[in-house]
Structure 1
C-alpha cells in the first residue's frame, strides 16, 4: 500500500504541476508506473503464500505473472538508462539540452522502452508456454520467475535459454554501460566546477537517480551472480524480495526525500488545498 501510494503521489505531483514540462520528471512518472506494475504483480501472491503457507496457480496465470514481471523490470532498466542520458545532457551539454531532449524524443524513448521490453518478454513467454511439464509442479519461489519455471520442465530448455540470453543481454548489459559512461562524463564535468557550492548544486540534480541506479543494479547483479543450487536458494529468495518489493518501495522515498523540487511542489500543493478548505 505504501509503495502504491508513494508512486501515485509522485505521478499526481508531476502531472498537476510545472514539473511535467521537465523530461526528467516525465521519465520519473514512467518509472513510478513500472514500480506499481511490479508491486501489483508480485506482492498479492506473496502475501497469499505467507498467509496460507502456499498458493496454487494455473500455468497460464504463472506465465502471465512472469510476463508482467519481465515488462516492469526490463522497462525500469531502460528508463534508468534514459534518465542517466537525460542527466548527462543537462549537466554536460546544458545549452543543447532543451533542443535535444524535446517532447518528441522523450516520448519516443519512454514508449519505445515499453514496446521493446513487451516484445521481448512476450516472445519468451510464448516459447515458455510451449514447454512440457510432466513431473513435480511445485515452484520453490514466491513468484513465477524464468529459472524456477524451466527447472520444472521435462522438455529440452537449452534453445529457450539461448534465446532468452540473446534477447535480454543487450537490454541489460548495454544500458549498464551507458549509465557508467554517462556518470563518468558527469563526474568529469562536475569536478571542473571551481566552487564547492556549484559542484554540490550540479551533483544534487542527479543524486536521487544515482542512488536508485546503485540499489537497482547492485541487487540485480547479486541476484544473477549467486548460484541457483544448494543453500543459495534462500539467498536468491532474499535478493528477489529486495528486488521486487523493497526497491519499488524505496524509489518514491528517495525521489521525494532527496529531491528539493518534489518537496517544494508537495508543500505548495498541500498549502494551496489547505487554504482552499479554510476559505
Structure 2
C-alpha cells in the first residue's frame, strides 16, 4: 500500500508562533480581507447595476473582481481561523483542494490581465470578450490540473509538516519522500512561461495602445486614456512583484481602489447607488 493513501492531514506551521506577532498579523489580514471582499464585491455590483458601466472594459473588471474574491477566500479565512483556534492541521483532501484553487485563480488572474488594456471597440467586441475571459479561466485550469494529477501520486512518508501558512506548490513538494524533480521542473517552467507570456502580450498591447493614444488630437482625451492605462499597469506591477502573504491579501485589497479612485465613471456610479440607497431609506 502506498503511503500517500495513509496520510490524512498536513500541519501548516504558519508565519510565526509569537503570540504578540500573531495578533498583529490577524488584525492586518482581517482588515485586508474585509476591504478586499467589500471592494471587489462593490465593483461587481456597480458593473451589474449601472448602465454606464456596461462596457467591454468593465466586463473584464467584473471577472477580475470575482477572481480576486475567490482567490482571497482560498487561504485567508482558514489562516485567520487557525490563529484563533490554534489548530494548524488541514486534511489531505482540503490541502490539495486549496492548492488547486489557489493556483487556478492566481494564474487565471494573470491571463485575464493580458486582454484588459484592449478594451477599445476597434479591437474588442461582445463576442471576443467572453471568449478571452473563458480562455483565461481555461489557461488557469490547464496550468494546475496536470501537476495536481502527479502530486496525487506522491508519497508522504517522512513528514506532514508544511513550512507555510497555506498549501502552496513547492512547500508541498518539499515534504514528499518521492522524487519530485519532474514536478519541480514543471512548476518552474509553468511559472516562467506564464509570467513571460503574459508580460510579453501586455507590453505588445501597450505599444499598440500608446501608438493609438499619441494620435488622439485632444490633450484631455490623451490624458484620460493614459490614466486608464496607468491603473492597469499598477495592478500588473503589484501582481508580479509582491510576496505570497501580500499577494493573498494586499493585492486583492488594493485593486478595487486602484481602479475606482482613478476612474470617474466608477466613482459616479458609486455615488448614484449611494444616493439611491439613501433616498429609498428616507421614503
What is the aligned length?
250
Matches within 5 A, 1:106-255: 106-193=129-216, 196-219=219-242, 239-255=243-259
The TM-score normalised by the length of structure 1 is 0.83
The Cα of 1:161 is off from its aligned counterpart by: 2.2
Per chain length, whose mean CA-contact separation is higher, i.e. which structure has more relative contact order (CA < 8 Å, sep 6+)? 2
RMSD of the TM alignment (CA)? 1.9
Aligned position for 2:76: 43
Name which of 103, 106, 109 aligns with 1:73. 106
Distance in 2, Cα, partners of 1:144 & 1:166: 20
The structure with the greater share of residues assigned to helix is 1
Question: Tell me, what secondary structure is at the counterpart of 1:263?
Answer: helix
In the alignment, structure 1 residue 34 sits paired with structure 2 residue 57: no
In the alignment, structure 1 residue 268 sits paired with structure 2 residue 265: no
Offset from partner CA, 1:204-234 (integer Å, 9 cap, x none) = 2222212111211222xxxxxxxxxxxxxxx
Distance in 2, Cα, partners of 1:116 & 1:211: 23
Gaps of 5+ in 2: 1-33
Matches within 5 A, 1:79-98: 79-86=112-119, 90=120, 97-98=121-122
The Cα of 1:118 is off from its aligned counterpart by: 1.3
Name which of 97, 101, 105 aligns with 1:64. 97
Distance in 1, Cα, partners of 2:205 & 2:125: 19
Distance in 2, Cα, partners of 1:10 & 1:129: 37
In 2 relative to 1, CA 141–27 (structure 1 residues): closer, same or farther, beyond 3 Å?
same
Offset from partner CA, 1:133-167 (integer Å, 9 cap, x none) = 11121111111111100000110111222333444
CA contact (8 A) 2:48 2:54 kept: no
The Cα of 1:106 is off from its aligned counterpart by: 0.5
Distance in 1, Cα, partners of 2:125 & 2:282: 40
CA contact (8 A) 1:27 1:110 kept: yes
Aligned position for 1:235: none
CA contact (8 A) 2:260 2:266 kept: yes
In the alignment, structure 1 residue 102 sits paired with structure 2 residue 109: no
Distance in 2, Cα, partners of 1:28 & 1:9: 12
In the alignment, structure 1 residue 9 sits paired with structure 2 residue 9: no
The Cα of 1:241 is off from its aligned counterpart by: 0.9
